[in-house]
Chains A and B, each alone.
Chain A
Amino acid sequence: MNDDDIPDHPEEMPEAADALTAALAAASPHRPPTELRARVLRRTVRTGRLASPLRYVAVAAIVAAVTGIVTWNVAADQQLAGSRRANPDVAQLETTNEVVFDVIACKGGRVALLKATQSGSMGYGKLYTCPTSDDVVFMSGKLSPPASGKEYDLWLTENGVTRFQGRLKVWPSLTGSGYHFGSITFKADQKDPSFQAALLTLQPPGGTEPDNPILRWSAA
């Protein structure tokens, strides 16, 4: 055998292990305490008896966990499908997510900030436009819940003409703050639309003129 072939760790040479350990035990003053034998046997026997039941318990726990996760997943899917059927707004929100993202993240896009008209109000709105798209996104937050018989309407002024753009559907804030929030996504007449003013009003449905403005922005 070449010297380079000598293993660093001679565990592959059983005669060395046997001889070295036997010699050390003979030479050493250290002896295991007699009670160690009972401890080792107790531990071993206990392990042996528990091994099988523990294995069954572990398998049962894994099966239960997997079943629970699958069941929960199916239930969540069904609940979401039910929400889509019961509330078209949810479905619409899902389908407009991509448009919202594209407009908000649009390179060179503009944002108009609508501020509350009444002192003490926390409400605000943002109108996003994009130079390469005719999609427009309006978002509003920290709104009071709409009073009965009233709705939030978005009015936009373009080329000196103010017109009703759409009703803002609002939902309670997910933070539990009591405020409402909402958004509208719509098509403008052209890419990179230029608005002179924007109003969010709280008024009865069907109005032909803006009334009771809550938020306002003006380019002037």
Chain B
Amino acid sequence: MCARVAERDIAAFEALYDRYRDRVYAWAAHVLGPRQAEDTTQEVFALLWRRAGQFNQSRGQFTQWFWALTRNHILRELRGVSQQRRLQMADQIAALLSTAIAEGVDVEEAAFARVDSHRALEALGQLPHEQRRVLVMSYFVGLSHAAIALQLNLPLGTVKKRARLGMQKLRQALGAQAEPEEPTQSKGGRPHE
């Protein structure tokens, strides 16, 4: 689908927008604020439109490329925000995820979103809170492991261990979910675009 976007296929672009808009917007809204989230979402999809030709399927999955593009853009917007403030944002996100995992959320949305969200929340729910917290801090607001260790007053080795275990468990959980359905695919069975 990304190749079709590179060929200026508007319908393919619309399909990708519909699939990922909620995630991009939610991420931007939580770290940059709802007002800036609209601009950021526009800019991310404009980047996708302009750079779709750079995606090389032989080098990885589309989702890997797209989320790297999104993350780079959002973290660039976050430049100048203090580590303390980033820590607060990450903790708000971690708390939100914990609540959603504990209580469940309304996932009666589009089919794609329902399946993805359900699987993701289930997988994240299998992680201990502290491991999930480290992943959230690292991924959503770009805190390095050293910065996380400093902010949480933990040894760097502890932070790295939590990140490693968190990633392992997340990978296992997603793999276990995917295996019965798509046994031939690796890395969680995510579809290639």
Contacts and interface: CB of A to CB of B under 8 A. Distances in A.
A32 B100 contact: no
A220 interface: no
A144 interface: no
A172 B13 CA distance: 69
A20 to B, nearest CB: 5
A93 to B, nearest CB: 56
A22 B112 CA distance: 10
B38 A36 contact: yes
Interface in A1-35: 1, 3-4, 6, 8-28, 30-33
**A contacts with B: majority SS:** helix
Contact of A15 (B113, B136, B190): B190
Contacts of B157: 3
Contacts, number: 179
Interface residues of A, number: 39
A36 B42 contact: yes
B100 A20 contact: no
A147 interface: no
A20 B140 contact: yes
A27 B121 contact: yes
A9 B138 contact: yes
Interface stretch (A37-45, A57-65, A82-90, A200-208): A37-45
A11 to B, nearest CB: 5
Given A24-B23, A26-B121, A8 B113 contact: no
A18 B29 contact: no
B3 interface: no
Q: Please list the 6 inter-chain residue pairs (A to B) with the smallest Cβ-Cβ separation, ordered nearest first.
A: A26-B117, A27-B100, A17-B67, A14-B64, A30-B29, A22-B120
Interface of B: 8, 10, 13-14, 17-18, 20-27, 29-30, 34, 37-38, 41-42, 45-46, 49-50, 60-61, 63-64, 67-68, 70-71, 93, 96-97, 99-100, 105, 107, 113, 116-121, 123-124, 135-136, 138-140, 142, 144-146, 157, 160-161, 163-164, 167, 170-171, 174, 187-188, 190
Interface of A: 1, 3-4, 6, 8-28, 30-33, 36-37, 39-41, 43-45, 47-48
